[in-house]
């Protein structure tokens, strides 16, 4: 089997519109959560979210092209542009067929769909845009990446709800590992800070209502947590076959060592008891990587700050790692960026890769009142320097989907 490495990173998220700003914010323990500005949130129980700030798609797209893309696709293009530039991966007529795209989104162009539905109802069918359907499709961001950057290899959109970003990384890595591709653009994008999403998730009672102190609202593993904070953004990783990356002298951030997926198969929204499904995904990722549980140094968990998720994920980590669970460093970057849904696993994958590359573990902020049922080492408050050789990133989604990606420091 071929080895797969990470050579480029790109992101747009509530902490920053590039990787450098994002990483500095994560290490500093800074929150990107604030009052909702995309619409008037006054009637809603939850009035806070993680919005991307100062984002101008026309700074890198022709205005006409930008108008024909839903916001989630614009975010994906921005993050991909940064990742490709960071990687230095050339895309030419000769190699474009050997580069693939695996990009996911939880719900795709829902903003476009809602806008066009309003036009249909108020102005009639003749005023609906001919771009309404193409802009709304979940696979349109991956298609736009191919068009924008001239990438002609296998192209697909994956959807595993909030596990989507991790699934995309894992599936892209598997295509390279099998020898189908020399490189892949992988990740996720989401732009769902919208009235329907806030209302829907609020009805499920999973959103934090800490409206008066938004930066303290996302509090994974804290006894006073009251729910997740919905966010938007995109995360992109450039994956390459190792020999291909070495031949062109690419900088290597880390190696994608293994990937595992599973499904709880018990409930549309609630996790399996004791995190049984997520535990199977972690075991599968470690088995595929040829790693023993005690070799893992760091876990970037799903860590949503909902009561059920944090408790069941803690149980899953204990089930997989046994006594070693208490030696692990675990930190939820959702405490700072919120929950990016289909982009969550990609942005958290970037954070996990940078943790290995820089030897710094971002903190779990707002963890001030430890939950007795969540009793592992969650790196509260402040970042920590550490020698991280192996790390895993977990994500789980509605429908019972679970995904785990194992990364390790690149060594010859």
**CATH code where residue 329 lies:** 3.40.47.10
Catalytic residue status for 324: no
Asked which of 247, 266, 286 is the last residue of a domain, the reply is 247
Catalytic residue status for 374: no
CA distance 276 to 264: 7
Same structural domain, 94 and 218: yes
Same structural domain, 190 and 307: no
Structure confidence by residue, pLDDT tens digits, 87-146: 999 999 999 999 999 999 999 999 999 999 999 999 999 999 999 999 999 999 999 999
- Within a domain: 266: yes
**What is the rounded average pLDDT of the residues 307-321?**
97
Same structural domain, 174 and 294: no
Pick the catalytic residue: 302, 374, 401, 404? Answer: 302
The domain tally of the chain equals 2
Structure confidence by residue, pLDDT tens digits, 145-175: 999 999 999 999 999 999 999 999 999 999 9
Same structural domain, 307 and 338: yes
Structure confidence by residue, pLDDT tens digits, 181-236: 999 999 999 999 999 999 999 999 999 999 999 999 999 999 999 999 999 999 99
Does 237 have pLDDT greater than 90?
yes
Sequence-distant (≥ 6) Cβ neighbours of residue 198 within 8 angstroms: 36, 41, 44, 46, 49, 207, 230
Sequence-distant (≥ 6) Cβ neighbours of residue 142 within 8 angstroms: 76, 101, 102, 103, 155, 156, 157
Look up the domain containing 273 and give its range: 258-399
Question: Which pair of structure tokens corresponds to residue 357?
Answer: 């590359």
Same structural domain, 236 and 262: no
Catalytic residue status for 302: yes
pTM over 0.85: yes
- Within a domain: 411: no
- Within a domain: 58: yes
Mean pLDDT (the chain, rounded): 97
Does 274 have pLDDT greater than 90?
no
In percent, the amount of the chain with pLDDT more than 70 equals 100
Pick the catalytic residue: 244, 339, 401, 404? Answer: 339
Specify whether the CB–CB gap between 323 and 167 falls below 8 A: no
| Residue positions counted in the chain | 412
Pick the catalytic residue: 162, 244, 374, 404? Answer: 162
Same structural domain, 46 and 123: yes
Same structural domain, 194 and 322: no
pLDDT at residue 377 in the model: 98
Taking CA atoms, 373 is separated from 49, 193, 309, 376, in Å, by 27, 31, 12, 9
């Amino acid at each position: 089997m071929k080895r797969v490495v990470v050579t480029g990173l790109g992101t747009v998220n509530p902490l920053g519109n590039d990787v450098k700003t994002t990483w500095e914010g994560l290490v500093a323990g800074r929150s990107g959560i604030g009052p909702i500005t995309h619409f008037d949130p006054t009637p809603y129980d939850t009035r806070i979210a993680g919005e991307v700030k100062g984002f101008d798609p026309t700074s890198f797209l022709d205005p006409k092209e930008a108008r024909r893309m839903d916001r989630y696709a614009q975010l994906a293009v921005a993050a991909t542009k940064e990742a490709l530039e960071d990687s230095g991966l050339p895309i030419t007529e000769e190699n474009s067929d050997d580069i693939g795209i695996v990009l996911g989104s939880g719900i795709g162009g829902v903003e476009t769909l809602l806008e066009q539905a309003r036009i249909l109802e108020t102005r009639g069918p003749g005023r609906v845009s001919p771009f309404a359907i193409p802009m709304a499709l979940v696979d349109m961001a991956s298609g736009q990446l191919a068009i924008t950057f001239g990438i002609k290899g296998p192209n697909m959109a994956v959807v595993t709800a909030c596990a989507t970003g991790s699934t995309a990384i894992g599936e892209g890595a598997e295509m390279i590992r099998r020898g189908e591709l020399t490189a892949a653009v992988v990740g996720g994008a989401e732009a769902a800070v919208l009235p329907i999403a806030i209302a829907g998730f609020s009805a499920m009672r999973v959103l934090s209502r800490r409206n008066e102190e938004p930066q303290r609202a996302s509090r994974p593993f804290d006894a006073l947590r009251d729910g997740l904070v919905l966010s938007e953004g995109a995360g992109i990783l450039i994956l390459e076959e190792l020999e291909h990356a070495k031949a062109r002298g690419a900088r290597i951030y880390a190696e994608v060592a293994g990937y595992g997926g599973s499904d709880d198969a018990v409930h549309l929204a609630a996790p399996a008891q004791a995190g049984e499904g997520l535990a199977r995904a972690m075991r599968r990722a470690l088995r595929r990587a040829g790693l023993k549980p005690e070799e893992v140094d760091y876990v970037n968990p799903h860590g949503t700050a909902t009561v059920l998720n944090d408790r069941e994920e803690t149980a899953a980590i204990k089930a997989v790692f046994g006594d070693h669970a208490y030696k692990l460093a675990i930190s939820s970057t959702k405490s700072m960026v919120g929950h990016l849904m289909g982009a969550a696993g990609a942005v958290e994958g970037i954070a996990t890769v940078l943790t290995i590359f820089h030897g710094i573990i971002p903190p779990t902020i707002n963890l001030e009142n430890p939950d007795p049922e969540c009793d592992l080492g969650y790196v509260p408050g402040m970042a920590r320097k550490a020698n991280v050789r192996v790390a895993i990133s977990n994500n789980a989604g509605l429908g019972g989907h679970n995904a785990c990606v194992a990364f390790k420091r690149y060594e010859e």
